[in-house]
Amino acid sequence: MFIIDSYFIAVIFCVITMITWGSWANTQKLTDNNWRFELFYWDYVIGIVLFALFLAFTAGSLGTDGRPFLEDLGQANTANIGSALLGGVLFNLANILLVAAITIAGMSVAFPVGIGLALVIGVIVNYLDIPVGNASMLFIGVALIVVAMLLNATAYSKLSASQNKVPSKGLILAVVAGILMGFFYKYVANSMFSDFTKPIDGKLSPYTAVVVFAFGILLSNFIFNTILMKKPFEGEAVKFQSYFKGSSKNHLMGIIGGAVWCVGMSFSILASDKAGPAISYGLGQGATVVAALWGIFVWKEFKGAPKEVPKLLNIMLLIYIVGLALIVLAR
């Protein structure tokens, strides 16, 4: 299987993760206005599963290093499969709430608050589990991310006040999503052998772990998304029949969105061998900056905001970038 052999390449993979994780939500923006996010999300999950399988049967099965996908899956023990599945379940619950927050509050709010919080929790949890990197630089970087999150929440509150909107629902959903998302990566990382060149009996390769994780998302989606379709955060209940009435464009956007996200997840997991889970996850969650740039400059989500809001957003982005740089340098 393909394995990263240097920290430099690992950082490049993390940057790709950052771009893909920060950009997949654009596919939701590109669907028709009447295409509900609950329906979009079914295709999104299908895209994740399809790409995970594609990568497992190609990069995860070729070469002489590690174990090929099917052989690795066959020898895995129940505990490690369960850990990767649990990671998928936690991620799915968190991500459904995040997509709902994007629908209500926009990319430039949901990502900095939700994913920023996930970054803080994820870096701490993963570092305590596998302490790789300079702790001082890592946690100073995390502290700066927290400051950036608070600035973004303040900017959104000012925008909402100027438009006579109540900002609480979108922010609350983003916060809950961020808390849950901060823990999923740990369970996937714990299911794998730490040195990808030296397989351990019962443990999963990174490719197998991503596939099992993807099926955890798929299986749990029949519970979480079904409930959400019947009891949505906004609007009326959604019927399953509506999914089959969607256009080819709407379905394709969802599948592409899931595949793009799974590229980032796969690359982040592959990079964790050389970078360590805390740095790999933390740098990948720089997606927040990418998503904020999309939301602010492309989708104009802060159009018409009070004059002080653009200044807050510029400071937020600068602080976020400095925080991410410290996380990279921590290794």
Half-sphere exposure in the Cβ direction for 307 (13 Å, CA) = 0
**Which stretch, 108-117, 281-290, 304-313, has highest mean pLDDT?**
304-313
Mean pLDDT across the chain: 90
* Cβ-based neighbours of 81, under 8 Å, separated by 6 or more: 191, 204, 212
Instruction: Output the pLDDT for position 96.
Output: 92
216-229 pLDDT, tens digit per residue, is: 999 999 999 999 99
Q: What is the dihedral of CA 51, 263, 70, 64, to 10 degrees?
A: 140
Whole-angstrom distance, CA of residue 90 vs CA of residue 249: 29
Compute the half-sphere exposure of residue 135: CA atoms within 13 Å on the CB side of its CA.
8
pLDDT digits over 44-90, tens only?
999 999 999 999 999 999 988 889 999 999 999 999 999 999 999 99
- C-alpha closest to that of 215 among 60, 40, 82: 82
| CA–CA distance, 212 with 83 (Å, rounded to integer) | 9
pLDDT for residue 308 is more than 90: no
Neighbours of 284 (CB within 10 A): 30
pLDDT of residue 119: 81
What's the Cα-to-Cα distance from 74 to each of 56, 57, 93, 214, rounded to whole Å? Answer: 14, 14, 28, 17
pLDDT (mean) for 233-243: 92
Average pLDDT over residues 253-270: 96
Is residue 126 pLDDT above 90, yes or no?
no
Taking the domains of the chain in order of start, what are their residue ranges? Answer: 7-329
Average pLDDT over residues 179-186: 91
The model's pTM? 0.87
Q: Cα separation of 134 and 9, whole Å?
A: 19
Taking the C-alpha atoms of residue 283 and residue 171, their distance in angstroms, rounded to an integer, is 23
Q: Which amino acid is at 110?
A: A
Residue 108 reports pLDDT greater than 80: no
Q: Are 31 and 253 in contact (CB under 8 A)?
A: yes
